[in-house]
Chains A and B, each alone.
Chain A
Amino acid sequence: MSESLPVLKPTDFASDQDVRWCPGCGDYSILAQMKKMLPELGLPPEKIVFVSGIGCSSRFPYYMNTYGMHSIHGRAPAVATGLRVSRPDLKVFVITGDGDALSIGGNHFLHLVRRNVDVTLVLFNNRIYGLTKGQYSPTSPEGQVTKSTPMGSVDHPLNPIMVAMAAGATFIARSVDSQVKHLASILYRAAQHRGTSVVEVYQNCNVFNDGAWDYAKDRATREDTTLELEHGKPMIFGKNRDKGIRLNGLQPEVVDLSSGIAQDDLLFHDEQADSTLVHLLARMRHPEFPEPIGVFRAVQRPIFEEQVRGQIEAARQRSGPGDLNKLFHAGETWEVQ
């Protein structure tokens, strides 16, 4: 196409539509970081498509000056799959939420991930149904009192990271809406990944579930309650970087580095490790553990649509481009004079 791309700014990716999320919603931050990150991909806006389902997060495409589709509840992964198979030249993002991706669209989420379709899926996890005004979601903790659970939820929550891993995800990451630099860098890495990249974002719904992630967002505590994963580095956290994660048998444990434990005794992060490490990290939950943020896993596996198109190519190489007249006359035919 064009020889040199004009340098784009975040504002080039803003559509002319008024953003209509509640004031103070965590979605604003994710939108801002996305716009900030996109110019770094070096793609013209017409090559980018945002596909979403239903929910607060799914209004996202309307606010982007790219191509976009606000589809139906839970089905964005399926729409994105069809789009990528027919148009592998496009960069496709799926914007979804905890209800959209893990309840009504759980099946499509699994199959997108297992096929390893080359899309970047950003899951806004606010642990609540916002657009329907405050019912519990599949990531709400047990006991959560909501409009539909006045005596507390009895549903055991799903862990998005573990669901993604169970389906064989090749890229899994987690970030927090208010940690803007971290979020932008994770979005960038996810967008660069070849294959399905799943990014869970802790997102605050300040109207129906305010404070759900305060422990991970609060400047005063977040260094003690989260663990920033870095590939090849020991797992150290804490305001004074004096705590670490060590493996005790098959269980992780928090250890105090000031008590003479060496860094080499700690667990080292490996983005290419097998799924065991991902599960172990995903199970680390507040308050027993700091919750890991960053890239849990980044590996390579064949991409669905490339294989699909590869078969088309192979068939053409073998049989030539299809000739309908030849096909119609193949096999048993007869003449009527």
Chain B
Amino acid sequence: MSANSSSAAPSKEVAEVSEVTVRLAGDSGDGMQLLGTQLTNTSALLGNDVATFPDFPAEIRAPRGTRAGVSGFQVQFAAHEVHTPGDTLDALVAMNPAALITNYKDLRPGGLLIVDEDSFTDKDLKLANLDENPLESEWIKEYRLVKVPITRLTREAVADLGLSVKESDRCRNFFAMGLIYWLYGRSMEPTLRFIRAKFGKMPQVQEANERALRAGWAFGETTELLNTSYRVASAHLPPGTYRNMMGNQAMAWGLMTAARLSGKDLFYGSYPITPASDILHELSRYKNFGVYTFQAEDEIAAVCAAIGAAYGGAMAVTTSSGPGIALKAEAMGLAVMLELPLLVIDVQRGGPSTGLPTKTEQADLLQVLFGRNGEAPLPVLAARSPADCFDTAIEAWRIATQFMVPVVILSDGYIANGSEPWRIPNVEDLPPIPIVHPVAPEDGSRFLPYARDENLARPWAIPGTPALMHRVGGLEKEDGTGNVSYDAMNHQKMVRIRAQKVANVAKVIPPQEVMGPDSGELLVVSWGGTYGTCYTAVRQMQMAGRSVAHCHLRHLNPFPSNLGDILSAYDRVLVPELNCGQLRLLLRGNFLVDAIGFNKVQGRPFTVSELTDKISELTSPARAGAKVAS
């Protein structure tokens, strides 16, 4: 890599590695998320593939120095494609004892442990609820401990700038960043640009942060504590222009793109909720794109306003997380009844109730499928990775308008806040989303608001259109006219039409693909944000000669039409989920397949090793000479 040869004049040994997993942990006020984002962006700019996992407490500022206040950011950067932020850490930066004690167990034996030794005073230890200094413990000898006086060196670096001690200490994260950049041969330039852009109006702060960053780098180069730095070469990604994307940002951009492709303004009704709010923040910046963001008085108003906008002919979207989706349930049923296009996005978090607001989970699948009164089916799609949120948003709107139906998109906290490189598409190359609003029939024939096309979709007639005046509502409709009807046979017919319409979506979605052999001992079936981990685990086990394939579902309702055949082609089906077995229940119910569950509800994603262990258990060891799947 020539990109940073100018800034790195390695006087020490340089080791080439193919991937690195680092976690930065500190107090939630220490700027760990910023540090992690910078490391991610810098690594992506170097051409590495990256995957990230921010992990922060629900409290904005939990008591300083306590275990509850620890905020972490994990990033894997690699010279090959990566789909997970990594299982075990190659390096951990711990800015205080609480960060060390809550994170060290994920560090691999012999892994690099960098601590701010100035933050291990008796007071710090007490705040972290520690009786003894962990830096003097037995277990710490398992790791390559590097004690750096980060606080003192940062203060010295900024000493003559006239900052208060508190202000000086705010630069500690940049010192740590400089050290990490040296360690992994990252260029400081992108972060220097960031510092100039962010603090340009406060020259003192800008200068202090720059100095701290450079001081961290210089420390790495001169200290005798570190003899080796590492290089990670560029990954071989498909050609194109890339940028780093977070899931919520990708979702917002996907919505804006879908609006453009369908020639619509975007109406976005939302009520703030973790971890979905960033979509609202992102969209509210793009008013010149015709994006109307409406921060409603509550979740119900958010979805109802979206329904009102949909009736008026806008592209209407509402977003929330599990608790908010529960509140929207009645209105989602109304949208099913009205047969209006609407996107409902659920960025899942740990539940039930308020649950774990900042932690990830996949436990809303059954809620979005069935959490409404009456027979109220609607299509459900799940994004599989941060960048995939972009494509999922566009596809969901295509389905919503083609079938005149509300569509749910499932995301989760893990992909919403995670990031990965995104190959930037050319908007002109994306297929348009054609929408036709009917006008008055020229022959003067009667307009039927609930007439059906070949997909069973009804016409999207919008107010303001002469001669198409009609009334919609939550009461059962008479087939065709849409007038209120309590007729027994009509109700049954309409229930079936609405269900068949959703089932018809299976005709337009692509057939399900499988990664690996089309039959064998084990099929791993996953959905949503567990994609990367499941894919990586299955790949590893295939390389190890196991008879295993991976089937990742984007479409959860309806299922792809070939899914039943796929499931029956393997001896066993394993369904890993971050819930207690929701997809498994559906697969068993729909396909009478004796699927095995592998379930975790800890507010954390799977690790690859958890899955490879399970796959090992369910498949036979490779025989000598057995064919290895490619």
Contact = CB atoms under 8 A, between A and B. Distances in A.
Contacts of A87: 312-314, 462-464
Interface in A14-66: 15, 17, 44-47, 49, 51, 54, 61-62, 64-66
Given A17-B483, A82-B309, A82-B312, A333 B304 contact: no
Contacts of B236: 336
B473 A332 contact: no
Given A82-B304, A82-B306, A90-B312, A308 B292 contact: yes
Contacts of B311: 49, 69, 79, 83
A325 B236 CA distance: 24
B243 A331 contact: yes
Given A85-B305, A328-B253, A107 B242 contact: no
A87 B305 CA distance: 12
B307 A86 contact: no
B298 interface: yes
A322 interface: yes
B60 to A, nearest CB: 26
Contact of A86 (B244, B267, B428): B267
Interface in A256-294: none
A88 to B, nearest CB: 10
A85 B267 contact: yes
B241 A329 contact: yes
A315 B471 contact: no
Nearest to B234: A336
Interface string A245-259: 000000000000000
A7 interface: no
B267 A45 contact: no
B297 A107 contact: yes
Interface stretch (B110-118, B330-338, B604-612, B617-625): B330-338
Contact of A70 (B45, B469, B475): B475
B269 interface: yes
Contacts of A207: none
A3 interface: no
A75 interface: yes
Interface in B292-336: 292, 294, 296-298, 300-302, 304-314, 316, 330-331, 334
A108 interface: yes
Interface string A70-89: 11100101111111111101
A241 B241 CA distance: 82
A226 B330 CA distance: 41
Contacts of B260: 324
A329 B243 CA distance: 8
Interface in B462-478: 462-475
- The interface size bin for chain B is 35 or more
Nearest to B238: A336
Contact of B47 (A64, A108, A312, A336): A336
A46 B427 CA distance: 36
Nearest to B430: A324
B241 A334 contact: yes
A151 interface: no
Contacts of B465: 46
B308 A70 contact: no
Nearest to B468: A46
B426 interface: yes
Contact of A17 (B300, B305, B307, B484): B484
A329 B308 CA distance: 34
A110 B238 CA distance: 53
Given A61-B473, A86-B267, A335 B297 contact: no
30 contacts: A46-B465, A46-B469, A61-B473, A68-B473, A69-B308, A69-B311, A69-B471, A69-B473, A78-B300, A78-B301, A78-B308, A79-B307, A79-B311, A80-B308, A82-B307, A82-B308, A82-B309, A85-B294, A87-B313, A87-B314, A90-B312, A108-B297, A111-B301, A316-B288, A321-B288, A325-B428, A328-B253, A332-B244, A333-B242, A334-B241
Interface of A: 15, 17, 44-47, 49, 51, 54, 61-62, 64-72, 75, 77-87, 89-90, 107-108, 110-111, 308, 311-312, 314-316, 318-322, 324-325, 327-329, 331-337
